[in-house]
Amino acid sequence: MTDIPRSSSGRRTARRLGVVTGAASLAAVGTLLLGTVPAAAVTGGAGVGDPYFPEDGNSGYDVIHYDVHLDYDPAHPDHLAGDTTVTARATAGLDQFDLDLKGFEVSGVLVDGRAARAVKRTGDHELVVTPDRQLRQGQRFTVRVRYAGAPPAEGWHILDDGGAEASGEPHGATSWFPANDHPSDKATLATAVTVPTGWTVIGNGLPGPTTVDGGRSTFRWAENHPMVTYAATVAIDKFTVQKYKLADGTPVVDAYSPGLAIDPKTPQLQSDIISFLSSKFGPYPFESAGGIALGDGQDVPNGLETQSRPTYAGGLWDYPMTHEITHQWFGDSVSYTDWRDACIAECVAQYATQLWDEHLGADLDTDFYQGTLKDVLGDPSFWSTHIYDAGPGHELDEGIYDKGALMMHALRRAVGDADFFATLKRWTSEYRDSNASWPDFERLAAKVSGKDLTGFFTAWAHSTTVPADQYLYPGSLAKVRITR
Ligand SMILES: [Zn+2]
């Protein structure tokens, strides 16, 4: 959650850094902060040090909250106006820092209410801000950015009727608000979106008051648990909205784009899925739930675990709901440390759809595990993905999902049901609302089970060939024979 290591006991650097770019920025800034020379402010880095996306995120501060105001008219979908205030804490004295924002004309930047001394755009998405006054280490500050223009398609998707949907992993957020765009910096989010009256806006979290003024309506939403930027969303359409409550009182808001079939059984199904997953993972981590169902075949992602209210292309069916709702625990509440960690979200979410099938009567040893192995044992390409650290551009490869789900079942058989589900529950409680890495998961599974799982995880998560039989068929799993 912290972008750069804090310096110890007031020892800070006297050197003024240029904008640090590239993978070495985190280390470079960290080292200088720990230097011995007494000091002035530093320049925040243009990246948080992600091994895959060195310019994602920024160093020098930690965002606490985003307050995003947007103005959008579906009759003019090539224009979006934004007014976003970012509240953050400086993790170093700063005379300059970056936000991530792609495209748009920026018309004004205020830091703590005072016009910035300088603002420039560099690289793919850097908004470089020089505040009028230096920021002290530890200081809480606000940055207000006003911007307008054509929203980049990477994270802002225009629907067939002119409505829009904002989401995108890994980089979608910068297409609609200035952010510290890296999963390691989680923050709460409030959205207020003004649209012509007749359109509806759905966002993350709990709804606030909707106000109407001169033929325009402003919808407000607030997610009070810290979230990764890629899990932020707003969706604008002529939605049909259904509201109900889970058994524990958690409010649910489901929204359906025009023309989508609404199954009257969905509220019960979604409640059952959340209740089932809670029995496996621990208490549901957020204070609201629901889904945003967008018309199929439109230019939107297949589905995304937008926090507390996943986005679906098409209807709310059990397979995508089980996957995306699992992400509320795995990915959203407990988030990546960096983009090597996809398995902590996708391996579990993909396996959860099997757990749901098991709940409905499937035998996972035969129907899922051995059935899949029969198809893939002779296919080297299936095994070629590194589940951990798949490589830049491959961070969300399908192989992570498919091989990862098999690995989860093998792990369950290797450590037994009690320790497997205890590991999942301990993971979601120990790291709730924060970040953890795939190596953290490996360590926790070994700790909970008391077993040395080094060989198991090396074979499954860090190799590109079929695991040896002892790891492929742990516990009661019977060997699969392929006949050709
Ligand atoms: Zn997923």
In this structure, what CATH number is given to the domain that contains residue 444?
Answer: 1.10.390.10
Domain that holds residue 360: 340-472
User: What letter would DSSP give residue 44?
Assistant: P
Distance 345 CA to ligand 1 centre (A): 7
Distance CA 165, CA 74 (A): 11
- Going from the Cα of 159 to the center of ligand 1, the distance in angstroms, rounded, reads 22
SS percent in the chain: helix, strand, coil, step 5: 30, 30, 45
Tell me if 11 is assigned to some domain.
no
In a domain, 13, yes or no: no
Among 280, 306, 329, give the residue marking a domain's end.
329
Domain identity same for 112 and 237: yes
Do 62 and 198 have their domain in common?
yes
Q: Sorting pLDDT into bands at 50, 70 and 90, what band is 40? A: low
Which of the listed residues 329, 350, 380 is the one where a domain comes to its end? 329
Q: Which of 302, 329, 356 is at the close of a domain?
A: 329
Q: Clarify whether residues 104 and 229 are in a common domain.
A: yes
- In angstroms, the Cα distances linking 388 to 368, 376, 385, 395, 404 are 22, 20, 9, 9, 10
Does 410 map to a domain? Answer: yes
Q: What is the pLDDT of residue 483?
A: 62
Same domain, 289 and 157: yes
Strands 234-237 vs 200-203: parallel, antiparallel or unpaired: antiparallel
pTM of the prediction?
0.90
Task: Give the least confident one: 43-57, 168-182, 373-387.
Answer: 43-57
Element (H, E) at 29: helix 25-33
Compute, in angstroms, the gap from residue 180 CA to the centroid of ligand 1.
22
In angstroms, what is the span from residue 114 Cα to ligand 1's centroid? 41
Judgement on whether residues 81 and 123 belong to the same structural domain of the protein:
yes
Structural domains of the chain, count: 2
Helices marked H in 330-468 — which ranges?
343-359, 371-376, 380-383, 398-415, 417-430, 438-449, 454-461
Contact, 253 vs 240, CB < 8 A? no
Distance 26 CA to ligand 1 centre (A): 28
For range 233-256, the mean pLDDT: 97
Residues, beta carbon < 5 Å, ion ligand 1: 346, 349
Q: Are residues 232 and 178 in the same domain?
A: yes
**Is residue 256 located within the same domain as residue 349?**
no
**Among 2-11, 76-85, 191-200, 251-260, where is mean pLDDT lowest?**
2-11
414: in domain: yes
DSSP state of 478: P
Let me know if residue 392 belongs to a domain.
yes
Confidence check: pLDDT of 19 > 50? no
State pLDDT tens for residues 380-439: 999 999 999 989 988 888 899 999 999 999 999 999 999 999 999 999 999 999 999 999
Q: Do the domain assignments include residue 18?
A: no
Secondary structure (3-state) at 244: strand
DSSP code, position 294: E
How many angstroms is it from 321 CA to the middle of ligand 1?
A: 10
Give the residue-averaged pLDDT of 434-447: 98
State the chain's mean pLDDT as an integer: 90
| DSSP state string for 399-410 | HHHHHHHHHHHH
The pLDDT tens digits for 100-149 are 999 999 999 999 999 999 999 999 999 999 999 999 999 999 999 999 99
Within this chain, do residues 359 and 250 fall inside the same structural domain, yes or no?
no
Q: Are residues 253 and 154 in the same domain?
A: yes
Residue 16 domain-assigned? no
3-state secondary structure 117-154: CEEEEECCCEEEEECCCCECCCCEEEEEEEEEECCCCC
What pLDDT shows up at residue 216? Answer: 98
CATH number at residue 307: 2.60.40.1730
147, 167: one domain: yes
Inter-residue contact 381 to 403 (CB < 8 Å) = no
The token pair that represents 87 in the structure block: 């509240």
Report CA(304)–ligand 1 centroid distance (Å): 7
- Burial of residue 196 (CB within 10 Å: 0-12, 13-18, 19+) is middle
Cα of 327 vs centre of ligand 1, distance in Å, is: 7
Residue 482 lies in a domain: no
Tell me the CA–centroid distance for residue 421 and ligand 1, in Å: 20
Distance 322 CA to ligand 1 centre (A): 10
Q: Do the beta carbons of residue 219 and residue 207 sit within 8 Å?
A: yes
Q: Are residues 368 and 304 in the same domain?
A: no
pLDDT digits (tens, 9 = 90+) for 201-238: 999 999 999 999 999 999 999 999 999 999 999 999 99
225 and 83 in a single domain? The answer is yes
